[in-house]
Structure 1
Amino acid sequence: MRISTTIFLTDETITPVRLARELQQRGFAGLYLPEHTHIPVERTTPYPNGGDLPREYTRTLDPFVALAQAAAVTDRLTLGTGVTLPMEHDPIALAKQIATLDHLSGGRFTLGVGFGWNREEAADHGVTDWRARRDLVLERMGVMRALWADGPTAYEGESGPGVRASHAFPKPVRGGAPRTLVGGAAGPKLFTHICAYADGWMPIGGAGLSRTLPELKERWQEAGRDPDALTIVPYAVLPTPGKLAHYAEQDIEEVVLQLPPGDTATVLKTLDDYAQYV
């Protein structure tokens, strides 16, 4: 089982370059980074985990810039977002960013896709109908996948702009799209997205998989997807030996462990503590 990591990298934490080098040297498989462009001060949306919003949310580095630095100083470490919020991006520009990072890293990029929780942040990006954000993500994924196709391919969205058949390079290394995982809580809407365009699911914390996985597998097969191709990557996990043994029993091939948003000494100590799982 591959052991990857995630962290809120900020202007106050360990740097992407130092972290990437340490992860590769210590045998960790990958680094995933979250995304928040900004946090409006006048915010009524509650923090999903309860209580005050942690400081690191307001200082998060851009994941693509940070991952590009990580890619430049490693050659085996996989790189990913956990998660990108496509509804907050121009999909044509985002497709170019993703394909470029995947190309320059030799195909090491995983696109983690999410739908967000902060309504005020999304509203500043023009997402005025919160309930329609999943449909917006579905269409923006359609635009990006059209640009990543082998030949010029048009995509016409129902509620937003599409893209005309175009020349767009570079392409993702594996062809078609980089490995794509959808994050979020189990449910019919989430499973629709996974089956429509993704390679699998990034369940936050990984709890309850024994209950939810059978439904996803059924939906996956109904969509005509290869039963053996479904990928499950528990995300932001606080590890214990028993928890990782449980994942191994379910044939989970990768787990993403949560690192603290701390300085170099704090993060390296946590990596030392996690060494038993690598």
Structure 2
Amino acid sequence: MRIATTIFLTDQSITPVRLARELEQRGFAGLYLPEHSHIPVERTTPYPFGGVLPPEYGRTLDAFVALGQAAAVTERLTLGTGITLVAQHDPIDLAKQVATLDHLSGGRFTLGVGHGWNREEAEDHGVVWRTRRERVRDFIGLMRALWAEEPTAYEGEFASVRASSAYPKPAGGAPRILLGGAAGPKLFAHMADYADGWIPIGGRGLTETLPVLRGVWEKAGRDPETLRVVPCGIRPTPGKLAHFADLGITEVVLQLPSAPEAEVLRALDEYAQYL
């Protein structure tokens, strides 16, 4: 099983360069970064995990800039977003960012895609909340058109692009795309339509939901061997990782504390037992 990590990198935490070097030297498989552009102070949307919103949500580094630094000082470490709030981006600009990072890293990038939970943040980006899922699907379609080898047009309800020259291309034709979100018919249908798998937070309930997802995947004509499920934000125990392995999961993403260097390195020391 591949053991990757995720962390809220901030202006107060360990740096991307220091963390990436430590991860590669210690044998961890990858680094996934979340994103929030900003957190409006007058927020009415509740924190999905309950309680007070942790301060690191409003201090996150730009994921693509940070992952670019990580790519520059590593050779094998895989890089990913966990997740990118795609609806809040200009899809043409985002396609360029993704392709550039994947190209420069030699195909090490995974695009984790999310629909978001903070309504106020999304609305500041001009996102109409009830349409965000369809908006994300359109944006991914546009980006795939720009990544295509031949100039390809895309016409959608929320995004369109003319057939264009758009380089660089992602190293492998297109990066792996994992869709985040809670299990449900709509999420699984979108996943089978345009993604390569699922990046659920925490991994609870997978015993029940994975067979449902696999059924939707196969009904859509997708090869069951290509489905990737990568639980993210895991607090590991030997039993939990063994359970994931029994479910056929081959990669997990462990949660690191959003903290200065010394505390993060202690967490890596603790997680070393799982490598």
Give the TM-score normalised by structure 2. 0.99
Structure 2 equivalent of residue 270 of structure 1: 267
Structure 2 equivalent of residue 173 of structure 1: 171
Give the TM-score normalised by structure 1. 0.98
For 1:80 and 1:71, the matched residues in 2 are separated by: 11
In the alignment of these two chains, the number of paired residues is 275
Aligned amino acid, residue 135 of structure 1: E
For 2:256 and 2:139, the matched residues in 1 are separated by: 30
Shift of the alpha carbon at 1:188?
1.0
For 1:132 and 1:229, the matched residues in 2 are separated by: 29
Deviations along 1:40-94, whole A, 9 cap, x unmatched? 1111111111111101001000000000000000000000000001100000000
Identity rate, percent: 72
Deviations along 1:175-224, whole A, 9 cap, x unmatched? 1x201101111001111221111110011101111100111101101111
User: Residues 38 and 74 (structure 1 numbering): CA distance in 2 closer, same or farther, change over 3 Å?
Assistant: same
SS of the residue aligned with 1:48? coil
Aligned amino acid, residue 244 of structure 2: Y
Structure 2 equivalent of residue 161 of structure 1: 159
For 1:214 and 1:223, the matched residues in 2 are separated by: 14
Shift of the alpha carbon at 1:161?
3.1
Structure 2 equivalent of residue 32 of structure 1: 32
Aligned amino acid, residue 165 of structure 1: A
SS of the residue aligned with 1:239? coil
Aligned amino acid, residue 21 of structure 2: R
Shift of the alpha carbon at 1:96?
0.2
Pair 1:224 & 2:227 matched: no
For 1:37 and 1:50, the matched residues in 2 are separated by: 21
Structure 1 equivalent of residue 244 of structure 2: 247
Structure 1 equivalent of residue 135 of structure 2: 136
SS of the residue aligned with 1:166? coil
Pair 1:261 & 2:254 matched: no
Shift of the alpha carbon at 1:251?
1.7
For 1:223 and 1:256, the matched residues in 2 are separated by: 27
Structure 2 equivalent of residue 91 of structure 1: 91
For 2:34 and 2:119, the matched residues in 1 are separated by: 17
Shift of the alpha carbon at 1:250?
1.5
Pair 1:195 & 2:156 matched: no
Unaligned runs of 5+ in 1: none
Aligned amino acid, residue 25 of structure 1: Q
Structure 2 equivalent of residue 2 of structure 1: 2
Structure 1 vs Structure 2 CA RMSD: 0.6
